Each structure stands twice: as structure tokens, then as C-alpha cells.
Copies of this chain bind each other. A is one copy, B any other.
Amino acid sequence: MKIGIAQINSNVGDFPRNAKRIMQAYRACIDAGAEIVVTPELSLVGYPPRDLVTKDRFVEKCLQALDYIADETGDVPLIVGYIDYHDFIHPGKPWRNAAAFLHKGRIKKKIWKTLLPSYDMFDEHKYFEPSAKCSTFSYNGKKIGITIGEDIWLEDYIRRPIYQRDPIAELKEDGVELILNISASPFHKGMPKHRASLLEVVACGANAPLVCCNAVGMNEQLVFDGNSLALDSDGNEISNLPGFKSCFKVVDVAKRGSDAPKIRSIDVEDVHNALVLGIQDYTRKAGFATVTLILNGNIESSLVAALAVRALGANQVKALIMPDEEQSSESICRAIEVAEKLGIEHKNVSVDVVKQSADLVMGEIIPNLDHPLVNQGITSRIRAMLLMAYARNNNYLILSSANKSDLAIGHQLLGGDSSHGLAVLSDVPKIIVHKLANYVNVRHEVIQRSIVEREEELSKKPHKYGKETAPPYVLLDLILELYVDYQLSCNDIINGHGYDENTVRWVQRKVDLNEWKRQQAAPGIRVTSKAFGMCRRMPTVQSFID
């Protein structure tokens, strides 16, 4: 049986355009010989719809769109992800995360999602009622089991099993001969490989071929990486689809796969591609054509400019270079060099005159300037103010470039270096910033190699922020991973992992006290296993010290 895998990029809540995308992919797959076509989880809705689901006519409109699509289907069935009502008789959540099997102009079968993830960025239990039973159905003499996202997800990633049910076991019991899974599984570093090995175990365990059609594109702060897969009943890979790209492929699941190890992309390449797709998608979906940013000669702003050019083309990226008297002429030269290498328009203007007049007024309000960061803050916010005016006047989206390490410890200024718009590197730790700079340089040396090398050296030393001294980034990033990503207690980081107590306590304090800043920062693009933003919902004000 030949399965058309339509790895599409849906917009949240855009039923007409999502329907069009589904139908285009459906027809293309048929032309390529598909006998069944699958689309990703909630392909008609866009994942995650969040509270949109609770809007009065949302699900009604979704069902109308589904009817329209059903009407267009012919001899080749089409599987679409959508949202349905839970019945109106039994108690429970009002809606279902659903898949429809459409055939010859009709909705032949509806399947509900069984395992509803409610952790990290997921909130499905808020909205959806799980299915009561998973069963197969016959099509062309084959017992097919349709599953949605988490339904096939084994729980090796969590300390304890969180679900009472095992959909794959239920399908196996029911004699399943082919498992089709529609997913919206978001990317983080290492995820494509992890997902592939998990699917291998599932196919093998069910002793049935498995096709996983994963969504692609950025919605909210999540990038869906595609990387759809077809495996035979031994868990060997029959075929895979590319990452970070809308595309389709027709795969014969009667074939046997090969257990030769697949060459998967390296982590830094994935992170690069996720960020590029993120910039592209966020810009487009938010209705912008052009982005703007401040270039200041540092590695972060240079990297963001390079990623933006890759995502949108040099014509759609506009830079402001805004030196002040404290900035070295070297860094200004570097900023200009980056803009010129990338071929982007850049305006160069000094902010000194504004800073001087602000200082005058400041003198009246603050006779005794105590805080070391106040001055730096003023300059940074003058830049941001000009950038926001520039962006608004020209309808540009602002890209900000603070990295995850600095956001974690609050070394960024709200309304300053972390301006509103899209925070491209907000989930990229400093050390990965360096790796990305090197990766970008391979194609085209945008950031002088000597600069990157110097930065790498500097990241081995403590660095200053105002009067504070922060630990070297190489150390900071390791502690942050344990504290933020793995949520370990300080005692465990100190005693179990052997880090210096004072340093760990300093990091903890900074991370905890700056929650309010991060919650008011621009949305970012998730690329690690624990991003700030919708993936980590800490109380803004709290007093827990562990």
C-alpha cells in the first residue's frame, strides 16, 4: 500500500488556507501514486490552537471546513487532523483532538486522540476529552490503526508513566496491520534522532509498519521539524522526509526498510534550520515582509542578521547601527562589515546627542546615580526607542538578539536590548551561539573567524555586567542546563555534580529573581529541551529556595 505523506505547514486558526494546503498536497500525492494520504495532527487547525478552541464558533467553523474537504475527496482516502465536539450527553471536556478518514466525498471514520499531553508546552487536557478505546478499521483488506501524536509516544523520557492507557497495545490486540500516526511534534536539539529511535521501537513492538506524518513550521514559540518517517514492521526505516520543509512523499509500506544507520543532520545544523524557519514563519504568519534589528558588532546581533538574511533574503533585512561614545570604533566597524557582507541596508546614526539630553533630565530626577546599570540602560533604551519608531513607521518586525544564557540570569534590559518582536536567540545558550556562528561562517564568512575565536576564549573567563561579575559562559551554561532544563536542586548541582556552591547559588538567585523580565520579553523560538516562555511557567513572584 502506497501512503502519501503530506508534511504541511498550517497557520493557527486559518481554516480556508489550511484546507487549501491540505487539498493541494492531497492532489499532488495522488498524482504521485498514493493510495492513502495522511496530513499532520490538527492539520486543518494549526497546532497549538490554545484558547482559540474556547471561542464560541471555532469548532463549528472547523467542522464546516472539514465538510468542504471531505466533499473534495475521491477514491483515495485522506486523513485530516481537526477538532471535533465531544458528545453532548456525557460529562467531560467539550472537545476532541481528532482525525477524520475522508473517502469518496464523505467522512468515513472519526478517531479521537487517547493520550493528551499536559506538561511543558502542552495543555491538551484543558480542552480535549480522550478516546475511550483504540481500535482498528479495515480498508482495502488491511487493518489500519490511526493514532494521533502522543498516542504512540513511549514514556522513556519521563520518570514515571503518566498514562493509564497504551494505545499501541490496544491496536495490537485488535490485530493492527498498519499504523498511521499524525503528529505535531515540536523540535528541540536532538529531537529528530530521538523521535526516530522511538518510532523504531513502536513499529517493532507492534510488529506492523508505521508511518508518522509530522507537522512542519513555526506556531507560537514552537518549531515543528517535519522529519516524517515510514518504518517496516521490524522498525527499519523505509523512507524519511526532510526536516524543516513543507513537502510530500509517497512511500510503499509493503517494502522492507533497511537497518543501515541513517545519516541524520548534526545538532547545530538542526538548530540553525529551526531558527531560519522560525524567523521565516513568524514574520510571514504575523503579516510582515521585512525585519529590522540593531547591529552592534557583537556576535549575537551579527548572527541574527545572518539568519534573517538566510530566512528572508538580504532585501528584507534592515539594520540600524547606533553607536554611542562608549562603544569602541572597532565594534562599529564590525557591525558595518557584517551589514556589507550580508548586503543589507543599514543606517548609521549616533545616539550621543539624545543620551546627553537624557543625562540633563536624569540629573534632575536622580541627583545621586547609585545603580551602575542606569546609564547603560538609558543608552540601550534610546536605541530601542529609535528602533521601535523605525520599525513602526515602516511596518517592520523587530528581531532582538539576547541569548538564553543572558536572559536566564537577567542580563538584558526590557525595552532595551530585549525589545519587542521576535527574540531569535532567546533559547540559544551562549556556547551554541558560538557553534552557530561557526556553522554560518562555513558557507560564507559573515562574522570574522578571529572574532568568534576571541569570543570563545572570552567565554572561558568571568564576565562583567554593570558591577556584577558573572561566571564564565562555559560554566554558566552547564549550571543553567542542570538548573533550568533538568530542574535539579542546587544541592544536587553542588554535591551531585561538583559545582562550586557560591557560583550555583548566584545562578539560582539570578534565574529566580528575573522571572518577571522573561515573562515580559519577546517570544522566542524553542530549540532546547526547556525553553523559557510557554514551556516553563514559573510563578513571577515566589520564594522557593532549594
Contact = CB atoms under 8 A, between A and B. Distances in A.
A542 to B, nearest CB: 4
A50 B537 contact: yes
B125 A12 contact: no
A12 B384 contact: no
A384 B118 CA distance: 38
A445 interface: no
Tell me whether chain A's interface is mostly helix, strand or loop, or mixed: loop
A542 B51 CA distance: 11
A240 interface: no
A489 interface: yes
Interface of A: 11-15, 17, 46, 48-52, 54-58, 61, 88, 90-94, 118-119, 123, 125-126, 159-164, 219-220, 282, 285-286, 320, 347, 349-351, 353-354, 356-358, 360-362, 364-366, 369-371, 373-374, 377-378, 381-382, 384-386, 388-390, 392-394, 414-415, 419-420, 486-489, 491-492, 516-517, 519-523, 536-544, 546
22 contacts: A12-B541, A15-B544, A46-B542, A48-B539, A51-B537, A54-B487, A56-B488, A56-B492, A91-B162, A93-B162, A94-B162, A219-B539, A220-B541, A282-B541, A351-B361, A353-B357, A362-B386, A371-B393, A374-B392, A377-B388, A420-B517, A516-B523
Contacts of A49: 539, 542
Contact of A119 (B56, B126, B420, B542): B126
Contacts of A370: 393-394
Contacts of A220: 539-541
B543 A14 contact: yes
Nearest to A281: B541
Contacts of A55: 487, 489, 544, 546
A103 B12 CA distance: 53
Q: Which of A13, A17, A373 has the most CB of B within 10 A?
A: A13
Nearest to A380: B385
A208 to B, nearest CB: 24
A491 B384 CA distance: 40
A365 B353 contact: no
Task: Please provide the 9 A-B residue pairs with the shortest distance between their CB atoms, ordered closest to farther.
Answer: A13-B544, A415-B415, A14-B543, A91-B161, A57-B489, A13-B542, A357-B357, A12-B542, A381-B385
B389 A377 contact: yes
Q: Which of A17, A349, A377, A415 has the most CB of B within 10 A?
A: A415
B320 A349 contact: no
Given A12-B543, A13-B543, A539-B50, A162 B92 contact: yes
Contacts of A544: 12-15, 52, 55, 58, 61
Contacts of A390: 365-366
A4 B4 CA distance: 67
A291 to B, nearest CB: 14
A389 B362 contact: yes
Contacts of A371: 392-393
Contacts of A351: 361
B543 A11 contact: yes
Contacts of A56: 486-489, 492, 546
B389 A374 contact: yes
